[in-house]
Structure 1
């Protein structure tokens, strides 16, 4: 019994606003104003308060503050694919923004199941989150409203969109990305650019095809549908489609592949055919997957702006909570080109081109 009493006696007492006020030589009301960044407090008082806060290692009572502000400074993030290859980068962008603004994020995985999403949303409502982000880690797609009515709680859609409710939706500009990749090959003097694309039930497939067509037509090159192939996103599909294209009587002089996996398969096929990359055929991929930088040769690719999209989602949900309310509708985030050796030396520069460090040239 005595050991228990000794343990209790050793527990440090919680530092209060009154302790901070006493050390700073100001009133508790002044401390509260400084902590809440209120106006009409002198710079000298602010410095004294913040110095006292640091010395005492004071941490405001989050429960009391949430009762006063009617906010919990928490956000729910529900993804349908927690282990998706794109999910982590977007979540990191969300976390970097929201944590810098004092918010914590509750992460949930619905596995694309509406019942699971509904259960997670109910749990988040019970925790009185200030906002919700719905993230698709699988593919850009149109979907309906949240599986549970959230009332006045703000919602942001990430890597997906909806027309059922009027909320901000953040997606990549796949059309513009395909234009960038195709323009890069055109800048190398190529005129018969083969397109190796994904399956047609993906919206990205259609947007990237249209971006490719736009780039070549704007360059005065006639669109030739015989140079276009479509299949699964996998490396083996890229291998087969590249071999098919190169067997033509008048084969392409460059390849734009709409995923890095397709590009890896295409390069393998070209190597088997003793076609040199980039000397004979330059190749551009899409996504900027981690392996692209270490491929042989290192792969020039159009990068999906995943981290940037996550940051935008974080900024919009915080803005929706604290104001001003963000613009609803679809927000497209530009893609950018990462230059590596699969295209050799770039002969022209674009404002949307970056090197491997992410710097614009």
Structure 2
């Protein structure tokens, strides 16, 4: 293995001079610096990042912790974060909590032991407060993505979950739907609470009653709750449309409906929060409130790097990104009833 002593001998300088070139410290002539770097290239020498971090107190490593790597929203977000980190000269460690608090805690332990310079963090939910506080207590720069956590003061990039949900439900109402079910994430997650609020507000503003039988709170992962769907479909007055609080739920719901011989949108309309990635481009189908996932990662990483490199403390910053209503073929207008419902005479 090539060492700094091998570099020093071939370049005709001291090992201390090689160390200063590697760590960009001390006064060294430009000729000497170039000579040392040339020898490093000739010998294919790769500096020990751990040793360098002991000198500089900086690893140039950032971490991105996402909640569910199977969700296209998070994979696109990760691309934005990676692009911004690379452009700024940082390396990025990826971690995936699978919406699991204990797994999230293990990754926080890893981040602390790795001495990352900063963390981009998509929390599992409100329970993440302890994990986030551990990072803050160790003075690790932090930016939160997608979900707010009560009690945490940090930079954050959010989507407008309430308005996006409201817009989707208003679209369903405009198509003539009056019985609109909502299959939501856990109430322990801020986005689930806000999307429920948007759903409820849209119904109220449309003059429709709020029926608790039409609301199911599950998780944000792939839908496997067939019993919950059966309960909705067997109501005395079943829904004509379903609002799924995220894309994974929507895909699972549509699959379960088809297994029951029901077609979307002929038998029931389905709309959801977040697009489903490249598959949607090949066969455009789902009506969605699409969030700019790439921008979440890009802007979040830019905030994080600014926080790391800032010379003075700044108050926490908050960026709210709107969603776009994209109307596709998974929703349809209800046909007017042939009868006049007692309007004759």
Q: State the match for 2:83 in structure 1.
A: 96
Root-mean-square deviation over aligned CA pairs: 4.1
1:310 CA displacement = 0.9
Query: Aligned pair 1:231/2:218, yes or no?
Result: yes
Say which of 321, 339, 345 aligns to 1:333: 321
Query: Aligned pair 1:77/2:68, yes or no?
Result: no
Structure 2 residue matching 1:279: 3-state secondary structure: coil
> In 2, are the aligned partners of 1:77 and 1:133 still within 8 Å (CA)?
yes
1:275 CA displacement = 4.5
Query: Aligned pair 1:310/2:297, yes or no?
Result: yes
- Number of residues paired by the alignment? 277
* 1:122-137 equivalent positions in 2, closer than 5 A: 122-124=113-115, 129=117, 132-136=118-122
Q: State the match for 2:112 in structure 1.
A: 121
TM-score, L = length of structure 1: 0.61
> In 2, are the aligned partners of 1:277 and 1:343 still within 8 Å (CA)?
yes
Structure 1 range deviating more: 335-344 or 321-330: 321-330
Separation in structure 2 between the aligned mates of residue 289 and residue 306 of structure 1, nearest angstrom? 11
Q: State the match for 1:216 in structure 2.
A: 203
In structure 2, the CA distance between the partners of 1:224 and 1:319, relative to structure 1 (3 Å rule), is same
Structure 1 alignment gaps of length 5 or more? 1-7, 13-27, 30-61, 346-361
Separation in structure 2 between the aligned mates of residue 216 and residue 167 of structure 1, nearest angstrom? 33
In structure 2, the CA distance between the partners of 1:266 and 1:158, relative to structure 1 (3 Å rule), is closer
Runs of 4+ in 1 over 6 A off after TM superposition: 70-73, 294-297
Separation in structure 2 between the aligned mates of residue 242 and residue 114 of structure 1, nearest angstrom? 33
TM-score, L = length of structure 2: 0.64
> In 1, are the aligned partners of 2:120 and 2:301 still within 8 Å (CA)?
no
Separation in structure 2 between the aligned mates of residue 263 and residue 315 of structure 1, nearest angstrom? 31
Separation in structure 2 between the aligned mates of residue 338 and residue 202 of structure 1, nearest angstrom? 25
Query: Aligned pair 1:192/2:179, yes or no?
Result: yes
Structure 2 alignment gaps of length 5 or more? 1-6, 12-28, 31-46, 98-102, 334-345
For residues 284-314 of structure 1, the C-alpha deviation after alignment (integer angstroms, 9 at most, x for no partner) is 1233234862898822223344322111212
* 1:263-282 equivalent positions in 2, closer than 5 A: 263-271=250-258, 275-282=262-269
